[in-house]
Amino acid sequence: MSDSSTTSSWETQRRSLLPASVIGTVLEWYDMFVYAQAASLIFATIFFPKFSSTAGTLAALATFGAGYVARPIGAVVFGHIGDKLGRKKALSFTLLLMGSATTLIGVLPSYATAGLLAPILLAVLRLLQGLGSGAEFAGSFVMIAEFAPRKRRGFWTSLPGMGVYIGIVLATIVGLTVFHLPKAQLYSWGWRLPFLISFVLIIIGLIMRLRMAESPVFEDLGQRQESRRIPIVAILRRSPRTLLLSILLTAPIAFNAYVASTYSLTYGVKHGASQFGVLIGSLLGAIVAMMLVPVAGRLSDHFGRRPVYITMTALSALTAVPYFLILDLGGNLPYWVAQALIIAPFTQALTGGQAAFLAELFEPRYRYTGVALSREFSTAILTSTAPIVALGLVSALGGKPWLLAGAMVVVSLAGLLGAAFLPETRGIDMHTTEHQVGPSSAEPTDPRDLATAGTAESGDRK
């Protein structure tokens, strides 16, 4: 497809495509953060009252992590649908499944009412929530990447990343209201409200998604009858190195950002911040990240995907220790500073630099699956365990955070290495993506040279 026809398609579709893509990401992270807040603050009492305070919190955080174990399965299932039946169908299914699971959590019985059945049902719904989430965000920015003009693809593709932090902002606002009800009301019915609100977002999102057009790249694949093989098998055979390096790209977001959004709530309260204060800190961090995500995407259009990602992951590594030094000062204000001025710009904003990079790395026949898998393997391994690993590392040093800070440094450097060994992708044609992956693929960065780089002999060749 020519640049002129792509631009025409984008100008026609973007007003419906952008909100339809972003709203699913809003719902996904609203669901996740509402659950994270509840697991950190109240689920120990509601679903695990027979445990000690620490063990109950650990059990509640384990159910949070369980959802991330299901995400790679969701990436395979809905990635397959996206690559074989269409991006639009996959995005409608993911929205419906994850939103329905979240809504049903809001009507669960408590342990006091149903005994062991209550936490079992909670875990099942959390797994279904994770299954639906496994290809939601990836599908949103793949869809936009396949419409957007190449010169501004980084910026436009970063916008679903804003949805991540809009969802966190909404969840935090709801949490600030609900989690500060009188205890009798909170533990009887108040905790249910944040989950039931998800139903409204499902309806709005489905209406939007049913109205949006199918990706022009997918339609072109259908005309050329190129969507025949099983996507997961094709990726593992043709592009294992690309997949592995792409998994590393997500590592800092999967671990560091989730430590900051889950375990740090508990850590902050133990170091003098109030429950209200840590929620405000999360809100401030999300607002800053929301503003910086499109900046990172725009910078990647100007300087290239690799330089931006390498710089941001290096800064993420350098700021891990200062993050905890600030938290250890105690109180609300240091917590706010740490979330808004360290985690938001250097870790959470990576979301904006990642989207176009990932979408451009995989050939169109298997793009949805490849992008979803590269994100969700990281989340399954790192995010699912982040709160528990964080608690264990801090406990191992008698409450000192330095082992945890060291782990965050290592994870940031893993993301840096992933970017360093992947090719520059800025400006490629989304209809015909091929790459050579290896140390020599750092150049060329000029879009005119990428076509030449794409024809080099490679393990990722069709």
In a domain, 325, yes or no: yes
Backbone angles phi, psi at 269, to 5 degrees: -65, -40
In a domain, 460, yes or no: no
In a domain, 284, yes or no: yes
In a domain, 333, yes or no: yes
Per-position DSSP letters for 186-251, written without gaps between them: HHHTGGGHHHHTHHHHHHHHHHHHHHSPPPHHHHHHHHHT---S-HHHHHHHH-HHHHHHHHHHHH
In a domain, 187, yes or no: yes
Residue that has been written with the tokens 């006091």 in this structure:
112
> What pLDDT is attached to residue 77?
94
Domain count, the chain: 1
Q: Which of 38-52, 103-117, 311-325, 365-379 has the lowest mean pLDDT?
A: 38-52
> What pLDDT is attached to residue 55?
81
Please report how many Cα atoms fall inside a 13 Å half-sphere around the Cα of residue 317, on the Cβ side: 15
**What's the CATH number where 176 sits?**
1.20.1250.20
- For 41-54, the pLDDT digits (tens) are 788 889 988 887 77
In a domain, 459, yes or no: no
In a domain, 216, yes or no: yes
> What pLDDT is attached to residue 462?
40
218: domain range? 3-454
Which residue type occupies 308? V
Does 458 have pLDDT greater than 50? Answer: no
Residue that has been written with the tokens 């008698």 in this structure:
398
Which residue type occupies 18? L
In a domain, 121, yes or no: yes
Q: How far is CA 32 from the centre of its chain?
A: 10
Does 268 have pLDDT greater than 90? Answer: yes
Closest CA to 178 of 193, 195, 199: 193
- For 275-290, the pLDDT digits (tens) are 889 888 988 998 999 9
